């Protein structure tokens, strides 16, 4: 286990140039892996106009984790990033509430490269990755350009444990 954690922490530094993403602090990676998060699912997103709140990173209970991003221009506006070790399906898309929404389930889930869905004043983008899926949700009207931003997945997202 210690070797796996050390590898994850080392790869965090490599991710700066290899993934195009800002590395997650080694202490945060260690804390998450100690709490059961699969190191292959520890991602950090460089999200223009938002700051990652690494202290908010916590396990989701399924080997994945979630982390909050706060708008640089309005601290009340937040986005939530989640990584899960499971496949995301059409059935899950219409039966899983969007974080922080009013609980209304999405009625449709258009998918092309991933899924984009909305309900209860929030929208969410979901993409499959090598070890599961990643989700980013925010209030409607925020992150509207995300589909183009996520167009080059390998350079926008990067697991802390994979250079």
Residue 29 lies in a domain: no
CA–CA dist 117, 95 (Å, integer): 12
| pLDDT recorded at residue 146 | 61
| pLDDT recorded at residue 156 | 42
- Count of domains observed in the chain: 1
Residue 103 lies in a domain: yes
pLDDT level of residue 147 (50, 70, 90 thresholds): low
Give Rg (Cα) of the chain. 15
The full DSSP string for 76-123 is T-EEEEEEESS---HHHHHHSPPTTS-SPPPS---BSSSEEEEETTEE
pLDDT digits (tens, 9 = 90+) for 51-76: 999 999 999 988 899 999 999 999 99
Helices (H), the chain: 2-18, 26-34, 90-95, 146-149, 153-156
| pTM for this model (two decimals) | 0.77
Identify the residue with better confidence: 6 or 40: 40
Residue 120 lies in a domain: yes
Residue 136 lies in a domain: yes
Determine the structural domain holding residue 59 and report its residue range.
40-151
Residue 5 lies in a domain: no
Residue 11 lies in a domain: no
Asked whether 77 and 71 are in contact (CB, 8 A), the reply is yes
Residue 141 lies in a domain: yes
Residue 32 lies in a domain: no
């Amino acid at each position: 286990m210690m070797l796996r954690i050390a590898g994850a922490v080392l790869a965090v530094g490599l991710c700066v140039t290899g993934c195009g993403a800002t590395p997650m602090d080694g202490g945060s990676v260690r804390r998450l892996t100690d709490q059961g998060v699969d190191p292959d699912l520890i991602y950090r997103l460089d999200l223009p106009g938002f700051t990652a709140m690494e202290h908010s990173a916590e396990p989701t209970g399924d080997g994945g984790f979630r982390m909050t991003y706060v708008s640089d221009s309005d601290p009340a506006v937040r986005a939530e990033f989640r990584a899960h070790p499971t496949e995301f399906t059409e059935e899950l898309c219409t039966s899983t509430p969007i974080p922080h929404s009013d609980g209304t389930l999405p009625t449709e889930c258009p998918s092309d490269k991933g899924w984009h869905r909305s309900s209860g004043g929030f929208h969410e983008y979901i993409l499959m990755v090598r070890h599961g899926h990643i989700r980013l949700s925010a209030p409607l009207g925020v992150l509207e350009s995300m589909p183009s931003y996520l167009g080059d997945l390998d350079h926008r997202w990067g697991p802390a444990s994979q250079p």
